[in-house]
């Protein structure tokens, strides 16, 4: 597609052309899936929730000026203009008017290099998080911080998923950690059984700490940590101090994360965390810690077929 055909790009675009390009981007899988959903107009914006009859007011919850379409939420809302203005020059220079966010994605994928497309993907992902933080937690994130954290996501990083499985009868906890590179290729696996008071949040926190220490031992300095326990993820991202036992472990994790050059902690669904979940369950059957650097243990092989 030539630079001149931008105006027609949406009308003539072929879905098949853009998806392989999205999958090739060197960004965390969560960001690729997000970009795909955003291009597919399937984010729960107020307008989309109205179309599904879940909400009755479609107006943007931030600027309150227009209906909140995906294009508005991620691109044209005055509240995100500062974020895009602080991005790399090529993204700033896009003075094209778009009618959908898919057109934005197509435009960047067709006219700019991969690095720009990765920046677009990570920034849009962070813009959506910024919007949710404001809407659900009433907290405002500085646009420059959003741009900075997005640029961290698009550079070289490792993704580590952790989970814990609790055996109440024997007061044991199984810790499961899977570390992957940007392509999603498994580079290390940890299964660790622990004697521990069988409390779910405590177990999840201990497992997250073990995951961070494991990654540090592997020499990882850019880490995207993902878990399926919202309360632990929230605590790790909050600045509040909590002096209960779980809170102390959370403090330890934060201290360990501080020494990494880049880190980011995200919540993912249980379904997306199934590898770590199976590893944690399997860890309960082991008598001691097991680390695999090559190949995957039998307990998770079915997830790769």
Q: Which is nearer to Zn ion, 60 or 212 (CB)?
A: 60
What radius of gyration, in Å, describes the C-alpha atoms of the chain?
A: 21
- Rounded Cα distance, 292 and 165, in Å: 19
Minimum separation from the CB atom of position 100 to Zn ion (A): 16
Q: Which is nearer to Zn ion, 62 or 153 (CB)?
A: 62
Answer for the pair 242, 250: CB distance below 8 angstroms, yes or no: yes
Minimum separation from the CB atom of position 77 to Zn ion (A): 3
Structure token digits, residue 31: 């960001």
Q: Which is nearer to Zn ion, 124 or 192 (CB)?
A: 124
Q: Which is nearer to Zn ion, 83 or 209 (CB)?
A: 83
Q: Which residues bind Zn ion (CB under 5 A)?
A: 60, 62-63, 77
In the DSSP assignment, the letter for residue 44 is -
Minimum separation from the CB atom of position 63 to Zn ion (A): 3
Structure token digits, residue 89: 């020059």
Q: Which is nearer to Zn ion, 46 or 161 (CB)?
A: 46
Structure token digits, residue 173: 């906890």
Minimum separation from the CB atom of position 156 to Zn ion (A): 34
**260 contacts: CB under 8 Å, gap ≥ 6:** 216, 220, 221, 222, 223
- Rounded Cα distance, 74 and 62, in Å: 12
Minimum separation from the CB atom of position 264 to Zn ion (A): 25
């Amino acid at each position: 597609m030539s630079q001149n055909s931008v105006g027609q790009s949406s009308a003539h675009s072929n879905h098949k052309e853009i998806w392989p390009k999205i999958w090739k981007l060197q960004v965390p899988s969560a960001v690729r899936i997000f970009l795909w959903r955003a291009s597919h107009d399937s984010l729960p914006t107020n307008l989309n929730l109205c179309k599904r009859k879940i909400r009755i007011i479609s107006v943007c919850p931030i600027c309150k000026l227009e209906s909140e379409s995906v294009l508005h939420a991620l691109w044209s809302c005055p509240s995100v203009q500062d974020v895009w203005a602080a991005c790399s020059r090529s993204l700033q220079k896009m003075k094209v008017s778009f009618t959908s966010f898919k057109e934005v994605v197509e435009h960047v994928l067709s006219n700019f290099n991969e690095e720009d497309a990765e920046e677009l993907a990570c920034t849009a992902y962070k813009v959506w998080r910024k919007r949710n933080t404001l809407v659900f937690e009433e907290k405002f994130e500085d646009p420059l911080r959003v741009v900075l954290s997005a640029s961290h996501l698009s550079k070289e990083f490792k993704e580590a998923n952790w989970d814990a499985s609790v055996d109440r009868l024997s007061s044991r906890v199984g810790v499961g950690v899977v570390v992957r590179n940007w392509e999603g290729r498994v580079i290390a696996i940890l299964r660790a059984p622990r004697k521990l008071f069988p409390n779910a949040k405590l177990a999840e926190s201990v497992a997250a700490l073990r995951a961070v220490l494991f990654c540090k031992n592997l020499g990882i300095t850019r880490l995207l940590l993902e878990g399926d326990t919202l309360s632990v993820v929230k605590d790790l991202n909050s600045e509040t101090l909590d002096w209960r036992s779980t809170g102390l472990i959370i403090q330890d994790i934060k201290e360990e994360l501080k020494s990494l050059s880049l880190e980011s902690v995200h919540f993912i669904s249980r379904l997306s965390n199934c590898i770590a979940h199976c590893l944690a369950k399997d860890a309960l059957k082991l008598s001691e810690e097991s680390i695999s650097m090559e190949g995957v243990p039998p307990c998770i092989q079915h997830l790769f077929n």
